[in-house]
C-alpha cells in the first residue's frame, strides 16, 4: 500500500535542454575589461585615477544591491538553477507514457524517463527520437516512415505495431511480442522562450497488456460463438422489420445454407419461412414485452424448397432491439410424446393462408394465426381487441347476429361482408362457425376472414368494361344503320342539287338537308370512335412535333383567358397512331378543360416516357407492364365529383347545359385511345382541377420510319376532276335506297351497272355475264352471304377481279378475318356522289 504521507519522489528527465545555457565567454570578457581598467588606472597618477576608481566601485555597488533585491523577490536565482515551469515538467517527468520533444531537424530537446525505459535505452547513451530508435527494424519501416513524414509536414498521426524487444528475435528466445502506440504532433513555438521554429512532440505508450486483454476477450467470444454454432438447437437473431442479424451453424446446416454466403448477403425472415410466418415472428418482435418468451409451431423452408417442422421459442431481451429465436426440431418420437395432433394443428393453424381467430361470446379476439395479424394489424393479437373494432360500424349489427348464432351452436351462418377499419378502402368477408368442444369459456366461435379488396376492384373493372363494351356494340350497330340512311339522304340530296340552280328557292333547303346529314354523319363517326370501329390510318409519330404544331390551333380554341403551357420530354419515344385521330384526342381534352374554366385559368400539357418499372409502380392493375408515352392534360378548373368521374366516358353523358354539347367528346377520346392500344385515366377533385393522362404504347421499330414532319390535312379545295368512265360494275347492296342511289350515280357517269341485293344473287348475276365484270362494289354486312365471302368465291375463279367494299363499320372490323394478301379498296359510309364516282374510277385505273 502506498504511504500518502511519504514525501513525493520526482523522476529525473532522460534529457533536458530546454533552459538557456550560461556563457563562459561573457565571464572572460568581463574579467578582461576589469583587468584592462586596473592596468590603465595604475599607469596614471593617483589624483587622476581616484575619481575613476570611485566611479567603478559605485557602479559595482549599485549592481550588487540590485542583485540582492532581485534575489529577494525571485527575479534571480543563486546556487542551483530551476526552470519557471517546474510543476509542468514534474508532471511530464512522472508520466507512465514516454514523451519526447525535438525540433524539425531531429535534435532532442527533452525526453522523460519513461521514454528511455520503454525503449530500453542505455542510461549513458544519447536519446534518439522514435523514428531513429525504430528505424532499423524492417518490420516497422512503413509505420515509422509515415510517422517521420507526418513530423516533417507538421501533421498529427498515430500508429500501432508489434515487435520483439530491441535486439532480440521472438523465434529464438520465445519472448512475447510487445505492442506500442506511437504518436506525433506539432507544437508551435512559444514566443516567451525566445526559441524560433516549430517543435515536434512524440508520445510512446506500450499497450501490450491492453492487446493481451483484447485477445483474451476475443478468444472467449469466439469460444462462445463456436459453442453456439455447434449447439444441438438452431438459433438466430432478428430485428422487428424481419432482418436476420445472426444464424448459427446448426440452423444453417438444417436449412442447407452456406454460412459464408449468409455473412455476405444478410437474410430476411421471408427467405427461411413463409411470408405469413415471417409476419407473425416480426409482429411478435414489435408487440411483445421485453423479457417475455413465446413459442410458435411453424414450418421453416429449406434451400431446396422442402419444409422443416420446428418449434420456435421467441424472446426479446431487455434493452435490446434484436429478438433471440431458439429453434427446436421435432423428430417422430418427440412429436408423439409432445402430442402429434396438437403439433400438426398448430402448424396448419399458423401456415393457413386464410385469416383465422377464436372469439369469445363478446366477440373479443383471443388466439390468432399469422394471416389474421397480417390482415388486421398487430392490434388484433393482444387479446383485447374485439372483432367489431377491426371493421367499419356499418357491418357491426350483422356481425353481432352471426356471433350470436355461432355462440348458440347454429350452423350454416351467412358470411358477413365488411370494410376493414383503418387507412385505405379494404374490404373482406368474414365467416363465423361455432366451436363444438371449447377448451376454455373464452372460446365461443371461430372467425375466418378473407380479403376481397382486389376481387371487388376487379369485379367493378369487369362490370365497367362490360358496360362500355355493351354500349359500344349498341353504338356501333346504330352507327351502321344510320350510315346506310345517311348515305341515301346525302346521295339523293346531290341528285336534287344537280337539278336546281343556286337561285332556285328549293336549292337552299336541299343544302340544309345535306349539311345536317353531314353533321349527323359526324356524330355517327364519334359513335364509331367510341365503339372502336372506325377506320384508322396509323403511322409512326413524334408526339413532340405534333403537339408543337397543334399548340397554335389550341391557342385559338382556348381563347385569351386560358394560359397554355407545353412541357415536353426532350427524348420522347415514338408511338404509332392515327395522326388526325390523335389530334382529335388532344383537341377534345383541351376544349373540355376550357369549358371547365369559364373564368379563365391554366392548361398544361406535359409529355414523358414511362419505363416498364414505372408502369408497374402506377398501381393500375389492368394496365400490363411495358413502356409507354404519357400525355398529361391538366387544368385548374372546377373539377369533378367521384360520381361524375365514373360516367365521363359514357356516350351522351354531359354535365353541360342542354344544347352546349352532345356528350360524345370524351367517349370519342376513350374509343380512339383504346383502339390505338392505349389507356386513359382521369384524376379530379371538386374545386381542384382535373388531370387527364393518356398512355400510348411505345413503338419499337427502326428510327428511319419515324415521320419527323407528319403530313397534315389538306384543307384547300379540291380541283375539279373528270369522274366519268367506262366499264361494267357489279353493285351489291341489300339496302334498296343505297343501291338505287349508287346505281343511278354510276350510270350517270357512264358505267354499265349490274345490281344485286345479296351475295348469292351477285354470284348468279356475275355468272350470267360470263364473268365480264370490270369491278365489284359490294356492301360488307348482308344476309345469306356477306361481302368478304363473296370476294373469296369470286377470286377462286377470277383472282384478278377488282373489288371495292363499302360499309358503315370500320375497315379493320372485317379485314382481320381476311387473308393479309387480299387486295381491295374501302369506301366508308356515308359517302356522296362525288366520293363514289372518284373511288370507282380510281379502282378501274389502278
Section 302-316 average pLDDT: 76
User: Among candidates 408, 406, 403, which has minimal Cα distance to 418?
Assistant: 403
Cell numbers 409451431: residue: 297
What confidence tens digit (pLDDT) does each residue in 580-597 have?
778 878 888 888 888 888
Asked whether residue 306 is assigned to any structural domain, the reply reads yes
The answer to the question of residue 584 being in a domain is yes
Residues 498 and 511 in one domain: yes
* Residue 502's CATH number: 1.10.287.130
Q: Which residues pair with 158 in a beta bridge?
A: 183
Q: How far is CA 832 from CA 299, 491, 525, 616, 776, in A?
A: 76, 5, 15, 49, 18
Residue 211: inside a domain, yes or no? yes
Average pLDDT of the residues in 443-450? 83
pLDDT for the residue numbered 215: 81
Evaluate the CA torsion angle 782, 785, 789, 792 in order and state its sign.
Answer: negative
Whether this prediction's pTM lies above 0.75 is answered by no
Choice between 363 and 45, residue whose per-residue pLDDT is larger:
363
Question: Is 542 in the same domain as 502?
Answer: no
Rg of the Cα atoms in the chain? 51
Say yes or no: 503 and 537 in one domain.
no
Residue predicted with more confidence, 594 or 442: 594
For residues 735 and 484, the answer to whether their CB atoms sit within 8 Å is yes
Considering only residues 815 and 778, tell me which one the structure prediction assigns the higher pLDDT.
778
Question: Please, which residues have CB within 8 angstroms of residue 269's CB and are 6 or more apart in sequence?
Answer: 238, 242, 244, 277, 278, 281, 282
Please check whether residue 312 is in contact with residue 281, taking contact to mean a CB–CB distance below 8 angstroms. Answer: yes
Q: Report the pLDDT value the prediction gives residue 399, as an integer from 0 to 100.
A: 87
| SS3 call for 490 | helix
Within 378-470, strands assigned E span 416-419, 427-434, 445-451
Strand partners, 629: 609, 696
Tell me phi and psi for residue 362, to 5 degrees.
Answer: -90, 0
Q: Which long-range contacts (CB under 8 A, 24 or more apart) does 391-399 make?
A: 391/418, 391/419, 391/420, 391/421, 391/428, 391/430, 392/418, 392/419, 392/420, 392/421, 394/419, 395/419, 399/363, 399/430, 399/432
Q: What is the pLDDT, as a whole number, of residue 777?
A: 92
Mean pLDDT of the 791-802 span: 87
Q: Is 806 a residue whose pLDDT tops 60?
A: yes
**8 Å CB contact between 363 and 388:** yes
| Statement: residue 77 has pLDDT above 60 | no
- The tally of CA atoms less than 13 A away on the side-chain side of residue 621 is 10
Report which secondary-structure segment, H or E, holds 687.
Answer: none
Is 363:403 a contact under the CB 8 Å cutoff?
yes
The mean of the pLDDT values for the chain is: 75
Same domain, 79 and 199: yes
Taking residues 8-28, report their average pLDDT.
Answer: 59
Which range among 83-87, 176-180, 303-307 shows the weakest confidence by mean pLDDT?
Answer: 83-87
Q: Is the pLDDT of residue 81 over 50?
A: no
Q: Are 661 and 644 in contact (CB under 8 A)?
A: no
| pLDDT score of 384 | 67
Quick one: cell of 545?
412535333
Q: In whole angstroms, give the CA distance from residue 282 to residue 508.
A: 83
CB atoms within 10 A of CB 546: 20
Looking at residue 731, what is its pLDDT?
92
b/e map 294-310, b = 16+ CB within 10 Å:
eebbbbbbeeeeeebbb
Whether residue 524 sits in one domain with residue 541: no
Hey, which bits of 250-382 come out as E strands? Answer: 293-301, 307-315, 323-329, 355-359, 365-368
| Nearest in space to 399 (alpha carbons), one of 381, 415, 382 | 415
Cross-strand pairs, 682: 692
Q: Which of 439, 299, 418 is nearest to 370 (CA)?
A: 299
Question: At residue 798, does pLDDT exceed 70?
Answer: yes
User: pLDDT by residue (tens digit) across 166-217?
Assistant: 554 444 445 677 888 888 888 877 665 556 667 888 888 888 888 888 888 7
Residues 13 and 136 in one domain: yes
Rounded CA-CA distance 838/846 in Å is 12
Asked if residue 54 is part of any domain, the answer here is yes
Same-domain check for residues 665 and 780: no
Beta-ladder partners of 632? 606, 693
Count of domains for the chain: 5
**Contact indicator for 207, 181 with CB cutoff of 8 Å:** yes
Tell me what the mean pLDDT of segment 76-100 comes to. 67
249 & 144 share domain: no
112-169 pLDDT, tens digit each: 888 888 777 777 778 888 878 777 777 778 888 888 888 888 888 888 877 765 554 4
Has residue 417 been placed in a domain? no
Domain membership flag for residue 109: yes
Name the residue range of residue 607's domain. 533-697
68 contacts 86 by C-beta, under 8 angstroms = no
Domain boundary among 528, 544, 573: 528
The model's pLDDT over 525-564, given as tens digits with 9 standing for 90+, comes to 665 555 445 556 678 888 888 888 888 778 877 878 888 8
Which of 503, 528, 553 is where one domain is finished? 528
What CATH number does residue 256 fall under? Answer: 3.30.450.20
Domain-embedded: residue 421: no
Instruction: Please say which residue of 300, 330, 360 terminates a domain.
Output: 330
Examine the domain organization and report whether 280 and 210 are in the same domain.
Answer: no
State whether 487 and 577 are in the same domain.
no
Residue 713 has a pLDDT of 36
Which CATH number fits the domain that encloses residue 836? Answer: 3.40.50.2300
Same domain membership, residue 580 and residue 541 = yes
Longest alpha-carbon distance in the chain:
179
Residue closest to 832 by CA, chosen among 462, 486, 387, 375: 486
More confident of the two residues 661 and 561: 561
From residue 736, alpha-carbon distances to 246, 338, 498, 779 in Å are 86, 90, 22, 12
**Does 79 map to a domain?**
yes
pLDDT score of 193: 58
With bands split at pLDDT 50, 70 and 90, how would you rate the model's confidence at 253?
Answer: confident
| H or E segment and range at residue 680 | strand 679-684
Instruction: Supply the pLDDT for residue 501.
Output: 81
Task: List the helix and strand counts (H, then E) for the chain.
Answer: 28, 28
- Tell me, yes or no, whether 280 and 206 share the same domain: no
Amino acid at each position: 500500500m502506498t504511504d500518502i504521507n511519504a514525501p513525493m519522489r520526482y523522476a529525473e528527465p532522460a534529457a533536458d535542454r530546454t533552459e538557456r545555457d550560461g556563457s563562459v565567454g561573457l565571464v572572460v570578457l568581463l574579467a578582461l575589461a576589469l583587468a584592462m581598467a586596473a592596468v590603465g588606472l595604475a599607469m596614471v597618477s593617483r589624483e587622476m585615477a581616484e575619481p575613476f576608481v570611485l566611479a567603478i566601485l559605485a557602479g559595482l555597488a549599485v549592481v550588487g544591491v540590485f542583485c540582492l533585491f532581485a534575489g529577494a523577490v525571485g527575479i534571480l536565482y543563486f546556487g542551483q538553477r530551476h526552470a519557471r515551469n517546474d510543476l509542468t515538467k514534474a508532471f511530464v517527468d512522472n508520466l507512465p507514457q514516454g514523451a519526447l520533444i525535438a525540433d524539425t531537424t531531429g535534435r532532442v530537446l527533452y525526453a522523460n524517463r519513461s521514454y528511455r525505459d520503454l525503449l530500453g535505452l542505455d542510461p549513458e547513451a544519447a536519446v534518439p527520437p522514435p523514428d531513429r530508435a525504430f528505424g532499423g527494424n524492417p518490420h516497422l519501416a512503413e509505420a515509422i516512415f509515415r510517422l517521420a513524414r507526418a513530423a516533417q509536414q507538421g501533421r498529427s498521426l498515430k500508429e500501432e505495431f508489434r515487435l520483439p524487444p530491441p535486439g532480440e528475435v521472438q523465434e529464438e528466445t520465445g519472448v512475447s511480442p510487445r505492442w506500442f502506440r506511437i504518436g506525433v504532433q506539432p507544437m508551435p513555438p512559444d514566443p516567451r522562450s525566445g526559441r524560433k521554429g516549430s517543435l515536434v512532440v512524440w508520445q510512446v505508450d506500450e499497450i501490450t497488456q491492453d492487446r493481451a486483454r483484447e485477445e483474451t476477450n476475443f478468444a472467449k467470444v469466439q469460444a462462445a460463438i463456436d459453442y453456439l454454432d455447434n449447439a444441438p438447437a438452431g438459433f438466430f437473431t432478428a430485428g422487428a422489420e424481419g432482418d436476420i442479424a445472426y444464424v448459427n451453424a446448426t440452423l444453417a446446416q438444417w436449412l442447407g445454407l452456406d454460412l459464408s454466403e449468409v455473412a455476405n448477403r444478410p437474410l430476411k425472415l421471408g427467405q427461411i419461412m413463409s411470408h405469413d410466418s415471417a409476419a407473425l415472428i416480426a409482429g411478435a418482435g414489435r408487440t411483445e414485452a421485453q423479457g417475455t418468451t413465446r413459442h410458435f409451431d411453424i414450418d421453416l423452408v429449406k434451400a431446396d424448397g422442402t419444409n422443416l417442422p420446428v418449434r420456435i421459442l421467441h424472446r426479446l431481451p431487455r434493452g435490446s432491439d434484436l429478438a433471440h429465436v431458439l429453434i427446436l426440431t421435432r423428430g417422430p418420437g418427440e412429436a408423439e410424446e409432445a402430442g402429434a395432433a396438437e403439433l400438426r394443428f398448430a402448424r396448419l393453424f399458423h401456415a393457413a393462408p386464410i385469416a383465422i381467430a377464436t372469439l369469445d361470446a363478446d366477440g373479443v379476439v383471443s388466439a390468432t394465426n399469422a394471416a389474421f395479424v397480417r390482415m388486421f394489424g398487430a392490434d388484433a393479437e393482444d387479446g383485447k381487441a374485439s372483432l367489431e373494432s377491426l371493421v367499419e360500424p356499418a357491418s357491426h349489427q350483422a356481425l353481432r347476429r352471426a356471433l350470436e348464432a355461432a355462440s348458440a351452436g347454429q350452423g350454416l351462418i351467412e358470411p358477413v361482408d365488411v370494410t376493414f377499419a383503418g387507412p385505405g378502402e379494404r374490404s373482406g368477408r368474414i365467416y363465423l362457425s361455432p366451436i363444438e368442444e371449447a377448451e376454455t369459456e373464452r372460446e365461443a366461435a371461430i372467425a375466418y376472414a378473407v380479403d376481397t379488396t382486389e376481387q371487388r376492384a376487379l369485379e367493378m373493372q369487369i362490370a365497367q368494361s362490360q358496360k362500355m363494351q355493351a354500349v359500344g356494340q349498341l353504338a356501333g350497330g346504330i352507327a351502321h344503320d344510320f350510315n346506310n340512311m345517311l348515305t341515301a339522304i346525302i346521295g339523293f340530296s346531290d341528285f336534287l342539287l344537280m337539278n336546281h340552280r343556286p337561285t332556285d328557292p328549293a336549292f337552299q333547303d336541299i343544302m340544309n338537308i345535306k349539311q345536317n346529314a353531314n353533321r349527323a354523319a359526324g356524330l355517327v363517326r364519334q359513335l364509331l370512335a367510341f365503339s372502336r370501329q372506325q377506320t384508322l390510318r396509323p403511322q409512326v409519330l413524334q408526339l413532340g412535333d405534333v403537339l408543337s404544331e397543334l399548340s397554335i390551333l389550341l391557342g385559338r380554341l382556348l381563347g385569351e383567358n386560358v394560359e397554355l403551357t407545353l412541357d415536353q420530354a426532350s427524348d420522347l419515344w415514338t408511338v404509332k397512331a392515327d395522326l388526325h385521330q390523335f389530334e382529335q384526342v388532344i383537341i377534345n381534352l383541351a376544349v373540355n378543360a376550357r369549358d371547365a374554366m369559364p373564368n379563365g385559368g391554366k392548361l398544361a400539357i406535359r409529355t414523358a416516357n414511362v419505363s416498364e418499372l414505372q408502369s408497374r409502380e402506377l398501381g393500375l392493375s389492368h394496365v400490363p407492364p411495358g413502356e409507354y408515352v404519357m400525355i398529361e392534360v391538366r387544368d385548374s378548373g372546377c373539377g369533378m365529383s367521384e360520381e361524375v368521374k365514373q360516367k365521363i366516358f359514357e356516350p351522351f353523358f354531359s354535365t353541360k347545359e342542354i344544347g352546349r354539347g352532345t356528350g360524345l367528346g370524351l367517349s370519342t377520346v376513350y374509343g380512339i385511345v383504346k383502339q390505338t392500344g392505349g389507356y386513359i385515366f382521369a384524376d379530379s377533385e371538386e374545386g381542384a382541377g382535373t388531370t387527364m393522362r393518356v398512355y400510348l404504347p411505345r413503338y419499337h421499330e427502326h428510327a428511319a420510319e419515324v415521320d419527323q414532319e407528319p403530313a397534315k390535312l389538306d384543307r384547300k379545295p379540291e380541283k375539279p376532276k373528270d369522274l366519268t368512265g367506262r366499264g361494267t360494275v357489279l353493285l351489291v347492296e341489300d339496302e334498296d335506297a343505297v343501291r338505287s342511289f349508287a346505281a343511278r350515280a354510276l350510270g350517270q357517269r357512264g358505267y354499265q351497272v349490274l345490281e344485286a341485293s345479296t351475295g348469292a344473287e351477285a354470284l348468279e348475276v356475275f355468272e350470267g355475264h360470263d364473268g365480264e365484270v370490270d369491278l365489284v362494289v359490294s356492301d360488307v354486312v348482308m344476309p345469306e352471304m356477306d361481302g368478304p365471302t363473296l370476294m373469296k368465291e369470286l377470286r377462286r375463279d377470277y383472282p384478278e377481279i377488282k373489288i371495292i367494299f363499302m360499309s358503315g363499320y370500320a375497315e379493320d372490323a372485317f379485314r382481320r378475318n381476311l387473308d393479309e394478301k387480299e387486295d381491295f379498296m374501302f369506301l366508308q359510309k356515308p359517302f356522296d356522289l362525288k366520293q363514289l364516282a372518284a373511288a370507282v374510277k380510281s379502282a378501274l385505273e389502278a
